[in-house]
Amino acid sequence: MQDIWVPLSLIILFLLLHILRPHLKQLRPIEGLAWFPLVSLLIALILIPAYGFRPEVLPLLLYSGVLAGISFRKYRRGDEKMPYYRGLVFLILPLVILIFCSWTALHFRPALEGSLSSQGVHTLRLEAGRDYHLRLYTDEDDPRPSRRPLLLLLPPAYGSPLVTDQLSMELRDRGFTVLSYTREPYGQSPRAWMHRQRAFRQGSQQPRANMRGRALEELRLGELSFLLPWLRSNPWFTQGPLFDQASRDEIFLAGFDAGASALILLESAEVPGIRIRGLVAVESYLWSLYREEAPPPLPTRTEEGWLSSLREGIGRVGLRMRRPTLAPREELPPLGLPVLFLVSDRVRENPDAPGPYQALLALHAAEGGILISPEGAGPFDFSDVPLRYPLISRLFPGQGSPTRELGPVLSAEIIAAFAASTLGRPSLNN
């Protein structure tokens, strides 16, 4: 992934030559420079299948498209020689935009390679409705791997398998055997992405967005209900890689967003043959724990006369047009196991006001559990996103200033400490 600077440098160079051409006498005769934005656009588009979705490249891609469109429009009009706008504004403004787009693309380059880890990783494909692609992270140098707790990691709703790969490696290095999976294709339609974004932004406030969030939680709940019995009965667990790489009596479940909510909503984690010791809910919004509040009663008529009747009629219409609001349910699910809630520090921002963490705070107040919100942590800072997609982490920051580097290392330390405390050990590696 570090070699992405090579195509980015070519894109920047081609756009720079195109912008400078009208202002440099030596470049004006070179008509081919007018098409360099199109070449830059094609290179930027090739980066998507080559390196995956790179949000930091989007400004450069869009700027290349705008300049390529201008060049194509002039070509269609038959004006092959581009008019030479030599004014200072036509030089400074395009250069400022190019500098901003270039800085964004280069400054927010990923710190990790784009490929998944392979050392000590076993893979398996299950066909059940839609395919499950399982990844088991084991420590090949551990002389007693069967004592290691097994951590089943449910994936986040956003992102690809890359966003939990480094986290799984860090958890493995701290004493876990980690079993993660992916199931749904991540090249989804823009409409599906918009629906998910609306669920994350408004799922605790608007009923329709809340329904989309509940659908995500039900999806993860179904996957969890399938995988837990599979752990007990599948040969991969009874005599394959899982048999001697993890303990059946020390199993932890962890999940992000909708997957974290599924852990809390699971009616029973009792599966014969395995013992679940604790749950880790990362950025859980618990959309299923909201109810629609009853609308206020319509006013009754108290005065006679047409003016009073008109005023009260307008008031009734206004009440009927009010959007329904949501609030956490009064009946909350009991927490039968030790639970770690790991959330952004935005949970501290006006906790009494409506927000995405209302249900989580209500559940924590009623049922307990451990709630940790590291200073400066945003909603995407508990996975590999800060290392693989730095721009997304910057666009969705926490409320305060981080006191240490956020990302998979900090998350793994917190989860490992929680598991060791639950099991009564000084650390999982002891």
The string of pLDDT tens digits covering residues 181-204 is 887 654 455 566 676 777 888 878
The kind and range of the H/E element at 371 are strand 370-372
Q: Which structure tokens are listed for 150?
A: 């097994």
Instruction: Look at the block and give the residue holding tokens 């299948």.
Output: 49
pLDDT (tens digit, 9 = 90+) per residue, 256-268? Answer: 988 899 998 886 5
What's 430's DSSP letter? -
How much of the chain, in percent, has pLDDT values that exceed 90? 20
pLDDT (tens digit, 9 = 90+) per residue, 202-213? Answer: 878 888 888 888
Which of the residue ranges 42-56, 96-110, 254-268, 312-326 would you say has the lowest mean pLDDT? 312-326
Average pLDDT over residues 219-246: 74
Helix ranges (H only) for 36-148 are 36-51, 58-76, 89-107
Residue with the bigger pLDDT between 105 and 70: it is: 105
**Amino acid found at 308:** S
Confidence of residue 312 (pLDDT cuts 50, 70, 90): low
In angstroms, the CA 32 to CA 412 distance is 53
What is the pLDDT, as a whole number, of residue 84? Answer: 47
Q: Do residues 254 and 151 make contact, with C-beta atoms less than 8 angstroms apart?
A: yes
For residue 417, give every residue at least 6 positions away whose Cβ sits within 8 Å of its Cβ, in sequence order, or none.
none
In angstroms, the CA 164 to CA 327 distance is 32
Which range has highest mean pLDDT (79-83, 159-163, 165-169, 212-216)? 165-169
Average pLDDT of the chain, as a whole number: 80
How much of the chain, in percent, has pLDDT values that exceed 70? 78
SS (H, E, C) 117-155: CCCCEEEEEEEECEEEEEEEECCCCCCCHHHCEEEEEEC
What is the pLDDT, as a whole number, of residue 236? Answer: 61
